Structure 1
Amino acid sequence: MKVIYKITYPNGKIYIGKDLTDSINYFGSADSKIIEKDFTREQQRDFTIRKEILWESDTASDQEVNRKEVEYINLFKSNDPEIGYNQWPKLKRLK
C-alpha cells in the first residue's frame, strides 16, 4: 500500500509526506534542524506527534503518488513556514 500522510507536531505545524511501503514506523524526512528550533529542550523531553493517513492506494504508480503528495502539500499549505515543515515545492508568494 502506498500512502500520503500528515504529521502534526505539538505546535500545530504539519508535514505532508509519502510512504511507498506503508510502514507504521515511518514519520517522514522533515528537516530536524528546522523543527527543533521551534521547541525548547524541555519541550523536546516529552514530545507527541500525530500521523494521519490522508490518502492510500495499492494500485497507484510511484509517479502518481509523487503528484498526490504535491497536491496535498499545496492543499494544506505545509510548505508555508508559518503552517508547516515541507521545504518543497517552494512556496509561491504573491508580490
Structure 2
Amino acid sequence: MKVIYRTIYPNGKIYVCKYLTGTPNYFGRADSKLIECDFTPEEIRDFTVRKQILWESETATDKEVNMKEVELIKALQSNNPNIGYNQWPKFKISVICV
C-alpha cells in the first residue's frame, strides 16, 4: 500500500510525507533542527505526534504518488513555515495589491 500522511506536532504544525512500502512505523524526514527550534527542552521531554493517513493506493505508480504528495503539500500549505515543516516545494507568498 502506498500512503501519503500528515504528521501533526504538539504545536499544531504539520509535515506531509509519503511512504511507498506501507510501513506504519515511518514518520518522514522533517528537518529535526526546525522542529527543535519550536519547542523548549522541557517540551521535548514529553513529546507526542499524531500520524494521519490522508490518501492511499494499492495501484498508483511512484510518479503518481509523488504528484499527489506535492498536491497535498500545497493544498495544506505544509510548506508555509507558519503552518508546517515541509521545505519543498518552496512556499510562495501571494501578494495582492489593492
What residue is the counterpart of 1:21 in the other structure?
A: 21
Task: Answer yes or no: is 1:71 the counterpart of 2:81.
Answer: no
Tell me how many residue pairs correspond in the alignment.
Answer: 95
| Structure 2 counterpart SS, 1:16 | strand
What residue is the counterpart of 2:55 in the other structure?
A: 55
Cα RMSD (Å):
0.6
Structure 2: runs of 5 or more not aligned: none
Question: Within 2, Cα distance between the matches of 1:66 and 1:28?
Answer: 14
Structure 1: runs of 5 or more not aligned: none
Question: Within 1, Cα distance between the matches of 2:84 and 2:94?
Answer: 18
Question: Within 2, Cα distance between the matches of 1:47 and 1:33?
Answer: 15
Alignment-mate amino acid for residue 26 of structure 2: Y
Q: Share of identical aligned residues, percent? A: 66
For the pair shown, which has the larger CA radius of gyration, 1 or 2?
Answer: 2
| Structure 2 counterpart SS, 1:71 | helix
> TM-score normalised to the size of structure 1?
0.98
Question: Within 2, Cα distance between the matches of 1:7 and 1:32?
Answer: 13
Question: Within 1, Cα distance between the matches of 2:6 and 2:78?
Answer: 9
Structure 1 runs of 4+ aligned residues shifted over 3 Å read: none
Deviation at 1:94, TM superposition (A): 2.1
Deviation at 1:89, TM superposition (A): 0.1
Q: Deviations over 1:35-54 (max 9, x none)?
A: 00000000000000000000
